[in-house]
Amino acid sequence: MAELIISVSGVRGVIGDSLTGEVAFNFGRTLASHLRQSDTQPSIVIGRDSRRSGPLIQQAFSAGAMEAGASVIDLGIVTTPTVGLMTRLLKAAAGVVITASHNPAPYNGIKILQPDGIALSAAAIAGLKQRYLTRDWFCGHIDAIGHYATDSRGHAHHVQTVLQYFDTRQIIQKRYRVVLDSINGAGSIPSPMLMGKLGVELIHLNGTADGNFSHTPEPIRENLIGLCDAVAKHRAAVGFAQDPDADRLAIVDENGCYIGEEYTLALCVLNRLMKKKGTVVCNLSTSRMIDDIAAQFGVNVIRTPVGEANVAGRMMQEHALIGGEGNGGVIDLRVGPIRDSLMGMASILELLTVTGKTISQLVNDIPAYSVIKHKMDVDCAGAGILAEKIARQFAQYQPDRQDGVRVDFGDSWVQFRPSNTEPIARLIAEARTPDRARKLIDDVLAI
């Protein structure tokens, strides 16, 4: 049986195995019971990506929450950042997204957001996990059952919120041709709305929100060959790729070359700092390109453990201008403390407009690094043992233990960290040359 993972990223498992309707029902009871400690009539905003298992998990979770005394506002199929926005708009006690993000179709999950839209902290998730495991649930009489309602304003509110921070007239005048791969996920619905408002000629690949993923969902190079070919074929200015819940964004340049998720945040940071100086926050696994760009403007970069909640929480503490993660996740607090591919796409189009450069030219202006990523199967106990061995091996370099173990060597670094969502560990190395990055990976694999 697959492991049900409960982490800072929420709950995630395999449908019909570790994640069932019963599990979702009980997590609904768990969250509602937790919320009732401070609000006897809490409301929960809930949305889902387009996975075929979405209605099952969403309805089961909603039923459990209602039984435990919470009212539910159902947004339908929406992006993860949309749920964050609507949670704030509706002044709900919590937001819930039924999604497994970039994981393959057999997976689904339950991501919980606080009233301000930020994901729950590790400590808060740990508290919910304990309540779930001990079955500490509120069960009331008929009068305590929560209400159910729907709200269809999510997509329009999201698009309108993003657009207010850009000079749309300038972008419209360019009449950009854009190829977008929405993987038949939640981004299929609001993205054409956004592109239409920006005067874009859109070639939309996999633009039906039916959950039939036409390729492996994670927006990495090997999964986006079709997008690269389409950008070259249609002579588009840029190609964009979303993951199923549309919080991550990858970019293909005008030549049909995949430039990678790391450049998404880098280019968005560049665009934001060109207009205003301020602190940038990113996680420990994000490329050093962010530091190089920030240095051009004389601003600070603060690094946190991996996890959207960690980055967003520190951004709020520091009143950061922009932040995010090197997996294509851009966070702008003006829209919300959550990764947002719509904000990313608008920012990239604005950067093209303001600079008059192509994507490839913008990329060439940024000092280049070679990044190598490697996955290995390992459970939580094994990952902890390996992290200790790596830290001992490189003790002279004073490893950073905030998140797994990261070792810096001046102009290069390597990190080993367990995943928050899968029973794997990730190895990431970055250096000026591929050979140096590869050697760092091999050194850790040897351990």
Burial of 386 (C-beta count, 10 Å sphere; 0-12/13-18/19+) = buried
The rounded distance, in Å, linking the Cα atoms of 257 and 223 is 13
Indicate where the chain has its CATH 3.40.120.10 domain(s): 5-154, 170-364
The rounded distance, in Å, linking the Cα atoms of 334 and 159 is 13
Just list the catalytic residues. Answer: 101
**Which of 340, 365, 339, 335 lies closest to 351 in space, CA to CA?**
365
pLDDT for 300: 95
Q: Which helix (H) or strand (E) holds 187?
A: none
pLDDT for 158: 98
Helices 262-275 and 341-355, packing angle to 10 deg:
60
In the chain, count of helices (H) and strands (E)? 15, 19
Indicate where the chain has its CATH 3.30.310.50 domain(s): 370-446
**Average pLDDT score over the chain:** 94
Q: Regarding the domain with residue range 370-446, which homologous superfamily does it belong to in the CATH classification?
A: Alpha-D-phosphohexomutase, C-terminal domain (3.30.310.50)
What tokens appear for 432 in the block?
A: 């000026």
Q: Regarding the domain with residue range 170-364, which homologous superfamily does it belong to in the CATH classification?
A: Alpha-D-Glucose-1,6-Bisphosphate, subunit A, domain 3 (3.40.120.10)
Answer whether CATH 3.40.120.10 is correct for domain 5-154.
yes
> Strand 238-242 to strand 177-181: parallel, antiparallel, or no bridges (unpaired)?
parallel
> pLDDT tens, 335-385?
999 999 999 999 999 999 999 999 999 999 999 899 898 998 988 788 889
Task: Spell 202-237 as b/e; 16+ CB within 10 A means b.
Answer: bbebbbebebebebebbbbeebbebbbebbbeeebb
> pLDDT tens, 399-422?
999 999 999 897 899 999 988 667
The predicted model gives 213-221 an average pLDDT of 93
What tokens appear for 36 in the block?
A: 């009732």
> pLDDT tens, 71-129?
999 999 999 999 999 999 999 999 999 999 999 999 999 999 999 999 988 888 999 99
Please, what sign has the CA dihedral across residues 134, 135, 140, 146?
A: positive
What tokens appear for 342 in the block?
A: 């719509």
> pLDDT tens, 252-270?
999 999 998 899 999 999 9
Between 410 and 196, the more confident residue is 196
